[in-house]
Amino acid sequence: MYVQQLYTNCLSEAAYYIESNGECAIIDPLRDVQVYLNLAKERKATIKYIFETHFHADFVSGHLDLAKHSNAPIVYGPQTETKFPVYVAKDGEQFKIGALTIEVLHTPGHTLESTCYLLKDENGKDYCVFTGDTLFVGDVGRPDLAQGGDLSMSELAGMLYESLQKKIIPLADEVIVYPAHGPGSSCGKNLGPETHSSIGEQKAENYALQQQSKEEFIKAVTNGLEAPPKYFPVNARINKEGYGLMDALLKKGLTALSVEQFKVRSKEPKTLILDTRHADTFTLGFIPGSISIGLEGRFAEWAGALLPFDENMLLVCEDGKEEETIVRIAGVGFDKVSGYLAGGFEAWSNAGETIDLIIDVEADELAMDMPHDDHLLVVDVRKETEFADGHVKDAVNLPLGEMNDPGLLANIDDRDNLYVHCAGGYRSVIASSIIKKQGFHNLRNVVGGFAKIKEQKIPIQKDKSVLN
């Protein structure tokens, strides 16, 4: 028996490879399926099944691409309806992988089709359970993401309670828990730092598995949920309805464009320029109107949260990063990359084309400027919860996740000198590029963000809601 977790930090997502006697199965594959094909080839195994725990909302699954390349069937749990061929398994149905057995545990609640897969070893003993978004380390899946239907969040939470009580809690304490997500995921609200656990540990530590009534469970699970990222419904729909295969996306997206060709394409309606270079590099010079989302951070998540899905996309990348960019952005549903700038930003600059930049300032410069500039406005782009826990006195909170709302900047005066910051510097560059694109040019990016600001003699305050 061989089980490997394939974890992707950018999306906080875990896919799984299970193998026995030359046969293997993949659970919850990402859209870049080459890693699974390569692993199977290296281990001289044949992919027999592709299992999906549910219609994912936070990424586009690789089930269709993987099925094309492996000829393996796509298996979903009960109550699944799709627009492409799948095998809809029955609750309790078993699948053989070599000497191993995978049993279907239908666990509705996160979504109606949510299903866990219980892996039994060569002797028929329960070894581990792949819980999808039903059970995480320290949390359970949020019950407000299901697509379609008439069920309320509370009704789905009630179904989740029953699923956990009947299907998960009765499992032996030593059974390993392999969830679909780890820390940083927006699919839950309290995910722990680990990417796997055990049934016994979760019974002891997970708030959602403690002895409580259904009413108490519903209240605990539904209270304190932040609004899901705006791309979640888009991804859930794509996973349910299908999508274009990766080979075609790469062929189109990897079209090298000269400076002149890039200029012409960029002026076409509903076209945006995405610059994926490092944030520190972007501020030094970029094509006017570009949006910066650096590959070094949670790139795909921020792209999904901030960029429109109906516009054509042109890329400016570091040399050799074009394919990675297309693959990663396709992972959250972007299928309209129509080319990249050959030679990158350097080619644009060398051609004598107009460039823009963002002034970087250190936190001590902000401290020196604050007493002398009546129009200085500190713009904090962290989450509301981060802002409430401590922020520059009189700062304005414009969370990056809401920057695609054009009304967010409505109260900003053209005369204001904006000093933009986040926690460490990544999000503030993204925000600065968006603010620039919306016509505000009197801005500076505070290098090092709030972490560096706190080191200065700058007045800091907390909101009353978090004061002890």
221-239 residues labelled b (16+ CB within 10 A) or e (exposed): bbeeeeebbbbbebbbbbb
CATH of 244-350, one of 2.160.10.10, 3.60.15.10, 3.50.50.60, 3.40.250.10: 3.40.250.10
Q: How confident is the model at residue 467 (pLDDT cuts 50, 70, 90)?
A: very low
Residue 149 is predicted with a pLDDT of 66
Strands 13-20 and 2-8: antiparallel
Q: What is the mean pLDDT of the chain?
A: 95
Q: Which of 146, 135, 228, 213 is nearest to 177 (CA)?
A: 135
pLDDT value at residue 119: 98
Over residues 180-234, the pLDDT tens digits come to 999 989 888 878 899 999 999 999 999 999 999 999 999 999 998 888 888 999 9
| Per-residue pLDDT, 148 | 60
Strand partners, 8: 13
Q: What global pTM score does this model have?
A: 0.91
| Amino acid symbol at 132 | G
Amino acid at 211: Q
pLDDT for res 70: 97
Domain 359-466 has CATH 3.40.250.10: yes
**Would you give the DSSP letter of residue 169?**
T
The pLDDT value recorded for residue 229 is 86
Q: Which fold has domain 2-234?
A: Metallo-beta-lactamase; Chain A (3.60.15)
pLDDT in tens, 130-151: 999 999 999 999 999 876 667 8
What average pLDDT score do residues 358-385 get? 95
The SS3 call for residue 133 is: coil
CA distance 171 to 173: 6
- Domain range annotation of the chain: 2-234, 244-350, 359-466
Whether residue 53 contacts residue 27, with contact meaning beta carbons closer than 8 Å, is answered with yes
Nearest-angstrom CA–CA distance, 68 and 83: 16
DSSP letters, 263-277, are HHHHTSSSEEEEE-S
In this predicted model, what pLDDT tens digit does every residue of 308-339 receive, in sequence order? 999 999 999 999 999 999 999 999 999 999 99
468 — pLDDT class (breaks 50, 70, 90): very low
The DSSP result for 276-320, as a single string, is -S-HHHHTT-B-TTPEE--TTSSHHHHHHHHS-TTSEEEEE--TT
pLDDT digits (tens, 9 = 90+) for 96-132: 999 999 999 999 999 999 999 999 999 999 999 999 9
Alpha helices in 84-183, H assignment, sequence order: 153-163
CA distance from start to end of the chain: 52
Q: Do domains 2-234 and 244-350 have the same CATH topology?
A: no
